[in-house]
């Protein structure tokens, strides 16, 4: 395993990779919803 | 250490005489004088003129068939304020609008800040997406929601409701206050989120990790560690949000034009003066009363806030 580079965010105590991914995806969904009225503006 | 003659001269020059306009402190202050005079001219003088108008029956003479001369009426305008049911209604609407918008913005802002307070792919992009509504002019935000979201003809929300099999809703006509509050919440949530994010990022991570090692649940950590830490930030957000949201005008004007149940105090003062009433004397009295109320509430809130901060520092 020598020389193998660690990838991804380092997890804290009690944090799970799946939980972090789910929260990241939730943040993306909310971000897209929040910008929707602006993005939907017809020029 | 030796004191040279040049140092001694410099000290004398810096000290100068009290009130001497050419002394060093005054030379530093003089460049600020134009800005100070400008601020007084554009903020304080109109306020003083409004106080004067509030004691007169000033009206727009071009708007009446028989122009009345402007005369001093004492405190008649102030007496009439509290007998006016429309003004009481506007005050109540302002209170509901401000409380609902501030509370909902705080809740959403805190939730979004918690989501953003971790590393994930595209964190910066999501933060920008969430902040963007706060960068829009209030009138633009109101028009976007009125024309593209709430419109009964081509509004997105009714199209979604139709797609889901529900009956369409005339949002602005049937729920004017809720529609305005929605726009205010959409615009002010990013502001609250930024304040809460600052609070979350100032929280020491070792305490959270220690709690996790001790087996605390995420909700327990939030309730017993994060929320007490965020208290001062929540108070600051509530105070600043209230001061700004109580002045909301654009959303009311663009979305309902002061329709039933949506006229708040700023819009009421507008209607009383340049918005059709042209009674500048009584409108000034309304405005002065609102300013006094706002100052009292802001002073009280700031004292509470600073008292809480001192308590926390002592603890």
Q: Residues 31 to 70 of B: which have CB under 8 A from any A CB?
A: none
Mutation to test the A interface, candidates B104, B113, B127, B129, most A Cβ within 10 Å: B129
Residue B150: which residues within 8 A CB-CB, separation 6 or more?
B157, B171, B172, B179, B255
Does A20 sit within 8 Å of B212, measured CB to CB?
Answer: no
B145 touches chain A (CB under 8 A): yes
Report the C-alpha gap between B72 and B49 in whole angstroms: 14
Interface touch B130/A41, C-beta < 8 Å = no
CB pair distance less than 8 Å for B133 and A38: yes
Answer for the pair B55, B73: CB distance below 8 angstroms, yes or no: yes
Secondary structure (3-state) at B260? coil
Here the tokens at position B256 are 């309902």
Q: Residues B58-86: pLDDT tens digits?
A: 887 776 666 677 788 888 889 888 888 99
Give the whole-angstrom CA distance, residue B173 versus residue B152: 10
Token pair, residue B14, equals 């810096």
How close, in Å, is residue B127 to chain A by CA atoms? 7
What are the pLDDT digits (tens) for B251-309?
999 999 888 889 999 999 898 888 878 888 889 998 898 888 888 877 877 777 667 66
What is the pLDDT, as a whole number, of residue B312? 60
pLDDT of residue B199: 93
Nearest residue of chain B to residue A25 (CA atoms): B120
State both tokens at B313: 């520092």
The whole-number pLDDT of residue B1 equals 47
Confidence of residue B157 (pLDDT cuts 50, 70, 90): very high
Give per-residue pLDDT as tens, B194-215: 999 999 999 888 888 899 888 8
CB contact under 8 A, A27 and B119: no
Of B115, B148, B208, the CB nearest to A41: B148
pTM for this predicted structure: 0.81
> How far is residue B123's CA from residue A24's CA, in Å, rounded to a whole number?
8
What b/e readout covers B284-313, taking b as 16+ CB neighbours within 10 angstroms? Answer: bbbbbbbeeeeeeeeeebeeeeeeeeeeee
Q: Does B140 touch chain A (CB under 8 A)?
A: no
Alpha carbon distance, N-terminus to C-terminus of chain A: 55
Between CA B128 and CA B134 the distance in angstroms is 10
- The answer to whether the Cβ–Cβ distance between A38 and B132 falls below 8 Å is yes
Q: For residue B198, how many other CB atoms are within 10 A of its CB?
A: 13
> Any chain A CB within 8 A of the CB of B116?
yes
Task: Give CB contacts under 8 A, 24+ apart, made by B297-305.
Answer: B297/B242, B298/B239, B298/B243, B301/B238, B301/B239, B301/B242, B302/B239, B304/B235, B305/B232, B305/B235, B305/B236, B305/B239
Mutation pick from A17, A24, A25 vs chain B, by most beta carbons of B within 10 Å, is A24
B-chain CB neighbours of A23 within 8 Å are: 115, 118, 120
Is the ipTM here above 0.90?
no
Average pLDDT on A10-35 reads: 87
Asked whether B160 and B106 are in contact (CB, 8 A), the reply is no
The Cα B279–Cα B29 span in angstroms is: 42
Does B153 contact A at CB distance below 8 Å? Answer: no
Q: How far is CA B227 from CA B8, B183, B201, B202, B208, in A?
A: 56, 27, 13, 13, 12
Structure tokens of B52?
């004067």
Among partner residues B115, B156, B190, which is closest to A27 by beta-carbon distance?
A: B115
Give percent of chain A above pLDDT 90: 35
**What's the average model confidence in pLDDT over B140-167?**
91
Residues 22-41 of A with CB under 8 A from B: 23-24, 26-28, 30-32, 34-35, 37-38, 40-41
Q: Which residue of B has its CA nearest to A12?
A: B209
Report the distance separating Cα B157 and Cα B285, nearest Å: 41
Reduced 3-state DSSP string for B57-125: CCCCHHHCCCCCCCCECCCHHHHHHCCCHHHHHHHHHHHHHHHHHHHHHHHHHHHHHHHHCCCCCCHHH
Q: Which residues of B touch A22 (CB under 8 A)?
A: none
């Amino acid at each position: 395993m020598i020389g193998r580079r660690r990838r991804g965010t380092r997890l804290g105590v009690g944090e799970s990779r799946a939980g972090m991914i789910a929260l990241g995806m939730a943040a993306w969904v909310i971000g897209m919803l929040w910008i929707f009225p602006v993005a939907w503006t017809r020029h | 250490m030796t004191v040279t003659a040049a140092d001694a001269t410099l000290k004398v020059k810096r000290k100068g005489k009290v009130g001497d306009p050419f002394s060093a402190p005054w030379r530093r202050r003089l460049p600020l004088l134009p800005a100070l005079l400008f601020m007084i001219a554009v903020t304080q003088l109109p306020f003083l003129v409004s106080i004067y108008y509030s004691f007169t029956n000033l009206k727009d003479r071009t708007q009446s068939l028989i122009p009345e001369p402007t005369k001093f009426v004492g405190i008649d305008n102030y007496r009439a304020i509290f007998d006016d049911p429309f003004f009481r209604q506007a005050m109540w609407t302002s209170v509901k609008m401000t409380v609902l918008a501030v509370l909902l913005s705080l809740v959403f802002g805190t939730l979004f800040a918690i989501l953003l307070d971790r590393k994930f792919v595209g964190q910066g992009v999501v933060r920008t997406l969430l902040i963007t509504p706060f960068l829009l002019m209030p009138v633009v935000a109101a028009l976007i929601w009125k024309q593209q979201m709430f419109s009964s003809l081509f509004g997105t929300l009714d199209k979604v409701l139709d797609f889901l099999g529900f009956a369409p809703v005339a949002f602005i006509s049937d729920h004017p206050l809720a529609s305005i509050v929605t726009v205010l919440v959409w615009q002010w949530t990013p502001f609250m989120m930024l304040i809460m994010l600052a609070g979350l990022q100032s929280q020491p991570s070792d305490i959270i990790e220690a709690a996790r090692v001790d087996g605390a649940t995420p909700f327990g950590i939030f309730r017993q560690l994060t929320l007490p830490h965020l208290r001062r930030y929540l108070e600051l957000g509530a105070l600043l949000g209230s001061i700004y949201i109580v002045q909301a005008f654009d959303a009311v004007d663009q979305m309902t034009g002061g329709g039933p149940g949506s006229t708040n105090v700023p819009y009421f003062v507008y209607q009383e003066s340049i918005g059709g009433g042209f009674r500048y004397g009584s409108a000034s009295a309304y405005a002065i009363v609102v300013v006094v109320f706002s100052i009292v509430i802001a002073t009280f809130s700031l004292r509470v806030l600073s008292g809480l901060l001192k308590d926390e520092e002592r603890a």
